[in-house]
Structure 1
Amino acid sequence: MVEEGQRAEKNRSNRGSSVASGRQHVNGVNLYYEQTGRGKHAVLLLPGALGSTRTDFGPQMKSLDKERFTVVCFDPRGYGKSRPPARDFPIDFYERDAKDAVDLMKALGFGKFSMLGWSDGGMTALIAAAKNPDLVNKIVAWGSNAYICKQDLELYEAVRDVSRWSAKMRQPMEEVYGAELFAKTWEAWVDGIAKFENRPEGSICMEFLPLVRCPTLIIHGEKDPMVPAFHAHCLVKHIKGSRLHLMPEGKHNLHLRFADEFNKLVEDFLE
């Protein structure tokens, strides 16, 4: 829903269902969001690092069942169209994003909802669920890790310089941020996540995992070059009652590359 006083517009998806978009003032910032569908089950999509509605969830906004679900996606503060402010990475930035996500859904009038979190968004979703057990129905997380180890830091350092990325990988982000700001913000993210190495056991959100009470599905692409499989097994081990689904050909962006399979898996789990 788009509340009075918000800047909102309407556009059309490829399936002909309307998409409402607007900005909602939450925790001192204006968060951009898009909303589609009319189902009773509300679902919030949480993007990955530097991600946004535009870059991260096209196939989900388009094709998740609009009769069964009301789907909301937002740009976290400092990302995408939720600028200003400029993005920064204090040690509690995942917890800040989690509070923003929950408070956005409250402001939009959703009393209870599920969360789909990709990469950074998965960690955000798990923290949100741990802190708000009465609000979160279910969680799906993929490409996520609850702690940082030396192997992770080596992977992040290897991709720090975006000029070494393929043009295909850079293009969506450069269209959102411009080449210079994208490179600068990505380096800041690498520095920000590296700080977790100094926490006990490199924890990003390990202490929150036992507090997640809702049904949780962890999906992992077995060819993910950014998140080793041991992270997915760690999540399942520490989240009571969670289950793991492996996609043998999946990489980090498995929900985009195998969108139909992913969407069906998610719809079945949410129902």
Structure 2
Amino acid sequence: MNSAVIRLTKCSSTKCLAMFQLSYHSQPKVALDEGISSHRVQVGPHRLHYLRAGHGPHTLLLIPGVLGFGWSNFKHQLLGFDRDLFTTIAFDPPGNGYSRPPEKTFPPLEVEAETVAQFMEALGVESASVLGYSSGGRTAMVLAALHQRLVKKLVLASTHAFILPDEYKYSRSLDCIEETWNEKEKNILYGVYGKENLPKLWRQFNDFNERILKEQRGNICLHLLKDIKCPTQLICGQKDPLTKVENSWLLHALIENSRIHVYPEGKHSNQIKYAEDFNMRVQDFLMADEELSGTNIREEDIKLAKANSF
């Protein structure tokens, strides 16, 4: 099968938007601000796609969720982060988005973290701040624990290191994508993965989580959290059914140098719903110098952490 081809053309709008189309299956056109560029880089056997915005001295790497990709998960961050302060890089992991082929698989998180480390090396990035969203936060935590020198600061958005049964049940309830997903989200992902393939990939992800529940008692990476030494910002939604707020408080209790913000009405994609406020909080955190140890940890969080430690 031929590799995807990127075509760049100019369009006549007031913002002079750039358009690119990746000709793989029936992938849709994506409108990009002219300050965002699209690239590919060889990382081991994979030719990975990524978007870059800005030219600032602080490099920020964005890791998307399970079937997300740079533009679908981080459009508002690529458009909204200060381009004089940050160089923002949103990459598509192997099998995600436009880093296809190959098809998406679900390898151990240590393997995914190693791919991120190799991706950074391929770009010549010696260290960066890392923002992991949803399942991308799992990879980001393992990366920060196993490759401490690579991660300056860590932002974890709507993620978890321990699978709660209710989270798994809710995720399984979404297996019938045609009936349960909102039209906008499913149509974007249908365009990338195909209408028949997308439900298969989602079920494979839930099968992966089911194995973690059965074989590891839900432990994704709790045992590695003690090795995360960089300052960490947690952002979550009080009403998130996929990564429940209790799990964010658990992370806060187990990651020593961390702080947390909870959106009272927030659910899973707070970087989209509350984009302006989210961007402000993340940028302020990344530019701050102060240490975060011991902030806002509640007694009940410590008990929860101890009860679920491995």
Task: Please say whether Structure 1 and Structure 2 have the same fold, judged by a TM-score greater than 0.5.
Answer: yes
**Which shifted more, 66-75 or 27-36?**
27-36
Secondary structure of the residue aligned to 1:232 is helix
Select 1:199's aligned residue among 201, 215, 221.
215
Indicate conservation of the 8 Å contact 1:17/1:37, yes or no: no
What value does the CA root-mean-square deviation take over the aligned residues?
A: 1.8
TM-score, length of structure 2 as denominator length:
0.80
Secondary structure of the residue aligned to 2:217 is helix
Alignment match, 1:83: 100
Q: Deviation of residue 17 (structure 1)?
A: 4.8
Indicate conservation of the 8 Å contact 2:127/2:150, yes or no: yes
Alignment match, 2:62: 45
Distance 1:21 1:168 in 2: 23
Q: Which amino acid aligns with 1:24?
A: V
Select 1:129's aligned residue among 141, 144, 149.
144
TM-score, length of structure 1 as denominator length:
0.91
Distance 1:254 1:244 in 2: 14
Distance 2:176 2:62 in 1: 28
Q: Deviation of residue 102 (structure 1)?
A: 1.9
The gaps in structure 2 that reach 5 residues or longer are 10-16, 19-30, 288-310
Distance 1:9 1:217 in 2: 37
Secondary structure of the residue aligned to 1:202 is coil
Distance 1:172 1:15 in 2: 15
Alignment match, 2:238: 222
- Please show how residues 87-126 of structure 1 align to structure 2 within 5 Å: 87-90=104-107, 92=108, 94-126=109-141
Secondary structure of the residue aligned to 1:57 is helix
**Which shifted more, 71-80 or 7-16?**
7-16
Q: Which amino acid aligns with 1:152?
A: E
Select 1:153's aligned residue among 168, 174, 181.
168
Q: Deviation of residue 15 (structure 1)?
A: 9.3
Q: Deviation of residue 44 (structure 1)?
A: 0.4
Change (3 A) 1:152 1:15: closer
**Greater radius of gyration (CA):** 2
Distance 2:220 2:8 in 1: 37
Q: Deviation of residue 201 (structure 1)?
A: 3.3
Secondary structure of the residue aligned to 2:149 is coil
Deviation beyond 4 Å, 4+ runs, structure 1: 7-17
Q: How many residues align?
A: 263
Output one character per residue of 1:78-129: Cα deviation in whole Å (capped at 9) or x when no partner. 1111111111124x1x222211112111111111100111101111111101
Distance 2:149 2:215 in 1: 29
- Residue 249 (1) aligns with residue 268 (2): no
Secondary structure of the residue aligned to 1:201 is coil
The gaps in structure 1 that reach 5 residues or longer are 1-6
Select 1:65's aligned residue among 57, 82, 86.
82
Indicate conservation of the 8 Å contact 2:33/2:79, yes or no: no
Q: Which amino acid aligns with 2:273?
A: R
Distance 2:285 2:86 in 1: 13
Give the percent of matched residue pairs that are identical in Structure 1 and Structure 2.
34
Secondary structure of the residue aligned to 2:278 is helix
